[in-house]
Each structure stands twice: as C-alpha cells, then as structure tokens.
Structure 1
Amino acid sequence: MPRTAKRDRYHHGDLRAALIDTAVEMIAEQGVQGFSLAEASRRLGVAVSAPYRHFADRDELLLAVGVRAGELLVAAVTAERGGDSPQERLAAVARGYVRFAAGHRALFEALFGALTPVGEPELERAAQPVKAAFQSAAMSLSGGDQKAAEALGMAVAATAHGHAGLLHLGMFGEGAQAVDTAVRHAAAATLALVAGRAALTL
C-alpha cells in the first residue's frame, strides 16, 4: 500500500488498522524478528510515540497481527471449493490450509509459534472457524460420535499442517508447481485418513 494512502488512513483516525496492515507487510518482507514499532511508525510517517496510543507494546501489536493472520487463514479455507460430501469438504479445508501457508509464509509461521503463546484467547477466537471447518465435516463422518470426530479432525489438521511445513522445507520443489503438488498431497492424505478413520480411535 503506498505510504500516502496509509497517511490518509491515519489522518482519518484509523492508525490502529494502519499499524496492523504495516506490521503484516513488514513481517511478510523480513519475518517477525525484523519488525519494530519504530520502523512501522517511520513507514506511516507518524511519531514513534503514536503507536502507543493503540498498543501497549510491540507484543500487543503482534497479537493483533496474529488475529489478522487467523482471519486470513479462515478466508483461505473458506474460499477453497469442495464437493458436497464431508470427505470432499475435509479435503478442501486441507487444501485451503496449505495454500494459505504457501501464500503467506511469514504470517503462517508467525501465527503458529512466533507471535504469542499457544492458547492466547484472541488467537483462539480468530482460529475457531478453521477448527470448526475441520470438526463439522469430521462430525458428519463420525455419525455424531464426538470422540471419533475430534480424533479425525485433529488428524486431518495435523496432516494439513505437516504438508505446509514440508512445502516450506522445499520437499515438494519450488514455485507454483510445488504448491500444487503439496495441495494435492494434503488432499489425498486427508481422504486416506477418512478411509482409515476407524483406526484413529484405537
């Protein structure tokens, strides 16, 4: 986003949102470790003290970035097209998860470990729709058995997360073809888990 646009947003009283947007951009460029409130202020053309009107410190702004990352993950999972069957819906969730990891690597890595401790309530709320997407399809496949649904949902989530990690390690190659391969493998592994789901509760 051009700096002039960001300054206009600030002048209209939306500095908080502009800071979150800027932090997202900076993390995408150089990772969490390269982010600072001072640099965010410089990019927005505001005083270094200005962010503290909205965030107590760097960690509080990073928490807001984590929430935004969770929202983007939800959007990616929701946008992935699937079929009508619960198996196909689960596979679609896994595909969307891996696509988000590919398109927003820094945010993905930050969301899962580098921003805030696991269990932070705001992050949990932001990620809840993704968990629900895994869980609702798993429940349909489990005949209403809550324990079986949780086991299947967790297994599929772990599979999607694992494929995202392997993609980042270069195990599927490089570029768009690698992303497509990782997405297909994640979907295929999900369908395999569904087919063998009875073993998950043993």
Structure 2
Amino acid sequence: MAPPVTRRPVGHHHGDLRNSLLRASLELVGERGPHGFTLAEASRRAGVSVAAPYKHFADRDALLAELATQGYREQRSRFAAAVEGIEGPVEQLASFAAAYVRFASEEPALFDVTFNAGLDKSRFTELATAGDKVARLLLPVARQLASDPDAAFDLLLRIAAAAHGLAVFLRQGLFGVGTAVLSDAEEKAARSARAIAQQAPPGAQLQDEEGPRS
C-alpha cells in the first residue's frame, strides 16, 4: 500500500515533489479508482500548488502511466520470486497464478491503475516495456509446455485471465471475508492454472527432455 503522505503548505517546493504526487495519486486511486480524481485533487492531497504536477507530468494520464509502470515492476518482482525454486513448469505457473491473486489483494490501488486506467501504451513506451518484461519472465516457462510461441503465449494468457478473474471476485467480496479468504483464492488460482497447463498441446514432453527453447 502507498505510504502516508505528509501534507505540506501549498506551494512549498520540497525535494520529493514527484514521489509525493505519485503517493497522493495512488491513495486517490485506492479511494476512488483511476478515473475518480483530478490532478488538482492530487496536488491538494500532496500539499502542493495545482500547477506543481506539470513540472513532471504532461497530464493525468502521464501520472497514471508512471503508477501503472510501478505496478508492472512490482508484479515482475513478485512473480519472479514466486517461480524461483519451483520445479516443473506446471507448478511454476500455478505459483505465478497464486502470486497474481495476492498482488491484487495486497496492492489494490496498483492493481486497479495497472489494469483499469485504460492507458494508451503506444504513447507511454516505458509502460509498454514494463508490461513486456512481465511477459518475458513467464513465457519461457510456458514454452516448456507449448513449443510453438503462439501456443505458449495463449497458454500464459489463459492462466493469467483465470487468475485475474479470481482476483476481481476476491476484491468484490464474492469469496466471503476472513483471514482464510486470500489463501483460499490463491489455491483456486493455482488449481485453475494446473488444469489449464496440463492441457498443453502434444510435444510438451519432448520439449521438457530437450530443455526450453529460446
């Protein structure tokens, strides 16, 4: 979650203006969603003048793109940790799916801004690159089950889609409340990933014997 923002007098040009605006905006995303606030409101939350954001961001979408980029970087870090040390591509993908659900639960504002802001990635190349890095982390795992690149991408997409749906249901409270709800949702995601991964096309065993292809 975003750390608390220390309010400062409007117009005070402190040395961490950019990060203060990002923290304030992430708080507002958590409260109202990525479309529920203006740059002026983010400025007031950060305790700076309404003109201050334009020193760093061309508009609100540019600020949201920076937050979404942070979201992808956080995902990549979590997913890398999730698959590290796990034996076998099926279990690696199951661990990824569980980590996906946990990310949505523990970082709801980052999850929302990453997937619900409707940003144009052709405009924000750093955002597109951050998203591609997540895919490049996981595609080699999927390639161990589906040697064709398109089939591997489709496999990864179906697993991510299942995890995303479960993450949304969890966020909406459809699985109930309580301390066990998150772990139960993680296990649902892992089971779904295993079921999808085990339907990999023929040739997977040969791929495993030869090792993953680049």
Determine which of 106, 109, 112 is the counterpart of 1:106. 109
RMSD (Å) for aligned C-alpha atoms: 2.6
CA shift for structure 1 position 161: 1.3
- 1:156-184 deviations in whole A, cap 9, x for unaligned? 11121121122223332224322111110
Structure with a larger share of its residues in helix: 1
Identity, in percent, stands at: 37
Mapping for residues 180-199 of structure 1, pairs under 5 Å? 180-198=183-201
Q: Is the 8 A contact 2:29 2:112 kept in 1?
A: no
Q: Is the 8 A contact 1:38 1:48 kept in 2?
A: yes
- 1:106-163 deviations in whole A, cap 9, x for unaligned? 3322321324146653322122232123311111222x33233122112211121121
Q: Distance in 2 between matches of 1:152 and 1:102?
A: 24
Change (3 A) 1:58 1:2: closer
Mapping for residues 21-40 of structure 1, pairs under 5 Å? 21-40=23-42
Q: Is the 8 A contact 2:145 2:201 kept in 1?
A: no
- 1:44-80 deviations in whole A, cap 9, x for unaligned? 3221111111111222211212112222222232333
Q: Distance in 2 between matches of 1:133 and 1:81?
A: 10
- Could you tell me which runs of 5 or more consecutive residues in structure 2 were left unpaired when the two chains were aligned: 203-214
Determine which of 127, 130, 141 is the counterpart of 1:137. 141
CA shift for structure 1 position 189: 0.9
Aligned residue number for residue 209 of structure 2: none
CA shift for structure 1 position 35: 2.3
Q: Tell whether 2:6 aligns with 1:3.
A: yes
**Structure 2 SS opposite 1:75:** helix
Deviates further, 27-36 or 113-122: 113-122
- Could you tell me which runs of 5 or more consecutive residues in structure 1 were left unpaired when the two chains were aligned: none
Aligned residue number for residue 169 of structure 1: 172
- In the alignment of these two chains, the number of paired residues is 196
**Structure 1 SS opposite 2:57:** coil
Q: Distance in 2 between matches of 1:57 and 1:147?
A: 36
TM-score (norm 2): 0.79
CA shift for structure 1 position 84: 2.0
Which letter maps to 1:138? A
Q: Is the 8 A contact 1:20 1:65 kept in 2?
A: yes
TM-score (norm 1): 0.83
Change (3 A) 1:25 1:79: farther
Aligned residue number for residue 123 of structure 1: 127
